[in-house]
Amino acid sequence: MGPVSLLPKYQKLSTWKGDLAKMTHLQAGLSPETIEKARLELNENPDVLHQDIQQVRDMIITRPDIGFLRTDDAFILRFLRARKFHQVDAFRLLAQYFQYRQLNLDMFKNFKADDPGIKRALIDGFPGVLENRDHYGRKILLLFAANWDQSRNSFTDILRAILLSLEVLIEDPELQINGFILIIDWSNFSFKQASKLTPSILKLAIEGLQDSFPARFGGVHFVNQPWYIHALYTLIKPFLKDKTRKRIFLHGNNLNSLHQLIHPEFLPSEFGGTLPPYDMGTWARTLLGPDYSDENDYTHTSYNAMHVKHTSSNLERECSPKPMKRSQSVVEAGTLKHEEKGENDNTQPLLALD
């Protein structure tokens, strides 16, 4: 498809000038396709972008109990995008974002990549982040559950590493619009490990990811999930939104259904993809740079998650992959398993994000 045939679809782009010049920095770097996607799917209108942001900012006075530590245009915009420019919903999410941090102060103390607990989790691959995006422009995050060494990483530190990673990634306006995909591989995840997933820590994760973070998750995919992961679902069902449950897909050990939704060319070989096996140190090296080490000597340098810049991938290529537990998935003929209403409740999700 040539550019001429796209002009009718994007004809509005040519009129964005004049009084809108002061707002162009908020959409700087976005492709025309992404700008149009934001207009069609998120109701983002550059003509009233400033007014939308200001309406959310004006609501802050209604919550004097919350310390809103950041209220600049770019920051508020990500909450509007996460809630399709419904100002009230966007403000509610903004308030929950800061309230969650107020209620869980210990989680956000020294909330930096070189914090010892966060660094250990990052080095162990929590989370994995693929370099390339999928065919919808979404960033793909990976969790290899069996790599959770409970003598080394607390669940809270893993959650902190995930939240920090999302803070870094959500700085990219393209990802604010296109969103994320999460794949959780439960291969070799033992019953003993699962027993540590208590209702309180699962609730903490759901509140932090579903209710308090401005990310659009287009899908959460389980592969190789054991029966006891299904059983745990009953513990968190009261905390899940209907909207998020519809975005959970359970594939078992059949990856054909996964490939219906995420093309193999965007996936590593662990998930039946055409990419090389995932090196779980990749994302840790991106965040830590020269401080990266897979040993236990943790150094501390200044790092601010709110001001992370894209790190060169040269360092990643210079480091050798770290071994990790591999998926036991196989590609077989079959149909997609998805949450359904009614009698088949044991196929419902354990974990959901919004």
- Mean local confidence (pLDDT), 114-123: 96
pLDDT at res. 219: 92
217 contacts 182 by C-beta, under 8 angstroms: yes
Averaged pLDDT of the chain: 81
pLDDT at res. 21: 47
pLDDT at res. 347: 36
pLDDT at res. 73: 96
Model pTM? 0.79
pLDDT at res. 232: 81
Whether 34 has a pLDDT exceeding 50, the answer reads yes
